[in-house]
Structure 1
Amino acid sequence: MAAIQVGLNTEAFRHADKPLEYSLAAIRGQGYRFCELNMLNGRDLLCEAGYYGAVSMERDPLEVRAVVERFGLKVSAVSAHAPMAQPEISIPFLVRAIEYADALGATCVCTDEGVVPDWMTKRQAYDMFYYTLRRVLPAAERHKVHIALEPHQKYSVKLKTYLEILDLVKSPYFNCNPDTGNIFMAGQDPYAFLEAIAKRIVHVHAKDIGGVVMGDRGKVTGVPSGCACGEGVLDWKRIIAILRKSGFKGVLSVECSSEEQGRVSIEHLNKVLKTK
């Protein structure tokens, strides 16, 4: 990949009551070349009935890849969030997501540490994260698919503890998927955060923040999706400058709340990317 690209997470269509194919057609129609898919186990009635575009990992990944490619798209990453403090859940889920991503031609599995039980101490949680990562990363290395840690829960949204989690296990396939909106909403400085992890960024959730959610800043560990990129408080020229300086040549995967916000986001980000 020669330069920074822009993609759209299919969660932008979660309120549209439409199937995956609708989302893919809209994503390509807006000018995107990449999409990010949301994964689940088993079967879901809403997905089966065509009201939501999540992908069951029981489906043949080559079938799904063919559907994506029919719309002229590539998969940048799969979103496969799993609670690392519960290895009985997260290990099989993440390993399957790695295998699935490889078959799709994606290079990243985006995940976070998940919700940690109230009774679990930080040390106990880190021990669970370590165990899960040691079990999962060999699969990532075999398939050459990154486990891309997203700031989204109480430890990963703070830079200090995010770096501690990154240091638990050494692997060339354990890297970063910063979510710009989550970092901001957690009360952190998104630009300092990006600079601290820049060399390990393999994928980015491009999320802008504005409107009513602003009042929750510092009280939450993130939001499901933000406003259109360029319509919130984040400085995308500054963000892209940080990424370029580090040599990043991956995908900015937009996370927003609607099809229209997806259209506005790609127009804004492409404009910024054309500015040197």
Structure 2
Amino acid sequence: MPIVPGFQLVATRSFPPLAARLHELAELGYVKVEPYDALLRDPGGLASMFNHANLTCPSIHAELPRFRTDVQRVIGMADILRAGTVVIPKLTVADHPQDTPGWMRFAAELAGYAIKLKTAGKRLAWHNRELEFAPLPDGSTPIEHLFEASPDILWEIDLAWVVRAGQDPTAWIERWPERIVAVHLKDIAQSSSGAEWVWADLGHGMLDWDLIVPALKKAGCQHWYAEHGAPLDFDRCAMRAIETMRSW
């Protein structure tokens, strides 16, 4: 099955206006986009821009405080954008539980949100950073507790953060294939001394895509989003990413 190219819009932050970038993405051949939390300030306006550029929005990022304040409003935003999946992108370091009981409590909180989204015809997914793979005092990992809490907690796997955590992404894909609904395709530079920090254009870094891509396809990953954490050249980043995705 061919990969339908998607783009995570966090890479557009330093390249306004957003409407122009959306049209560029569509012209390059991207079909779907995923907005980051700050873009949800005007979901109606955002939906209009997506429609005008002929781009779909199957998933959105919504920060945890939005869930804790008003889950129904999060669902309403997803409805406006026609997004079937809502992804919680991260916890702040200060909010990270420090032990297994803390992570189990947090996982139970996520399971509650997942039920509310499921009742509304939506899905909840977690986007990992590297801290979810750091061993807890009892040897378990936070990511395990999140998925063991409920089958309704799905996964948007960010491969580069898995690698940054010192883990093999293919092993984790093979362990939890049924949870993976989306992927962030971010590459890691050979050297972290560049102006784009540790990130590289997709296919121009150190990740072994010959192993990762077949594992993702086997897992049935639905949404493939190219991402770059700090691009200096948006056009270069977006062009290289879609060229790499087409080569798969």
Q: TM-score range by the shorter chain?
A: 0.7 to 0.9
Structure with higher helix content? 2
- Structure 1 SS opposite 2:14: coil
Residue identity opposite 1:68 in structure 2: F
**C-alpha contact 1:151 1:157 (8 A) present in aligned 2:** no
Question: CA distance change for structure 1 residues 31 and 253 in 2, over 3 Å: closer, same or farther?
Answer: same
Equivalent residue, structure 1, for 2:173:
194
Residue in structure 2 matching 1:178, options 151, 157, 182: 157
Question: CA distance change for structure 1 residues 177 and 200 in 2, over 3 Å: closer, same or farther?
Answer: same
- Structure 1 SS opposite 2:160: helix
**RMSD (CA atoms):** 2.8
**C-alpha contact 2:187 2:207 (8 A) present in aligned 1:** yes
Instruction: Please report how far the alpha carbon of residue 24 of structure 1 lies from its aligned counterpart in structure 2 after TM superposition.
Output: 0.9
Residue identity opposite 2:144 in structure 1: L
Instruction: Please report how far the alpha carbon of residue 160 of structure 1 lies from its aligned counterpart in structure 2 after TM superposition.
Output: 4.0
Question: CA distance change for structure 1 residues 3 and 100 in 2, over 3 Å: closer, same or farther?
Answer: farther
Equivalent residue, structure 2, for 1:21:
19
Matched, 1:149 2:126: yes
Matches within 5 A, 1:64-143: 64-82=46-64, 90-92=67-69, 95-112=72-89, 114-117=91-94, 121-143=98-120
Number of matched residues?
A: 239
- C-alpha distance in 1, partners of 2:241/2:173? 20
TM-score (norm 2): 0.83
- C-alpha distance in 2, partners of 1:180/1:264? 18
Q: Deviations over 1:156-177 (max 9, x none)?
A: 5679431221112342xx2110
Residue identity opposite 2:84 in structure 1: T
Equivalent residue, structure 2, for 1:220:
none
**C-alpha contact 1:35 1:74 (8 A) present in aligned 2:** yes
Structure 2: give runs of 5+ residues left out of the alignment: none
- Structure 2 SS opposite 1:240: helix
Question: CA distance change for structure 1 residues 119 and 184 in 2, over 3 Å: closer, same or farther?
Answer: closer
TM-score (norm 1): 0.76
Equivalent residue, structure 2, for 1:8:
7
Question: CA distance change for structure 1 residues 135 and 13 in 2, over 3 Å: closer, same or farther?
Answer: same
Equivalent residue, structure 2, for 1:169:
150
Instruction: Please report how far the alpha carbon of residue 73 of structure 1 lies from its aligned counterpart in structure 2 after TM superposition.
Output: 0.5
Q: Quick one: percent identity of the two aligned structures?
A: 23
Question: CA distance change for structure 1 residues 210 and 28 in 2, over 3 Å: closer, same or farther?
Answer: same
Question: CA distance change for structure 1 residues 137 and 119 in 2, over 3 Å: closer, same or farther?
Answer: closer
- C-alpha distance in 2, partners of 1:269/1:14? 22
Question: CA distance change for structure 1 residues 120 and 74 in 2, over 3 Å: closer, same or farther?
Answer: closer
**C-alpha contact 2:189 2:198 (8 A) present in aligned 1:** no
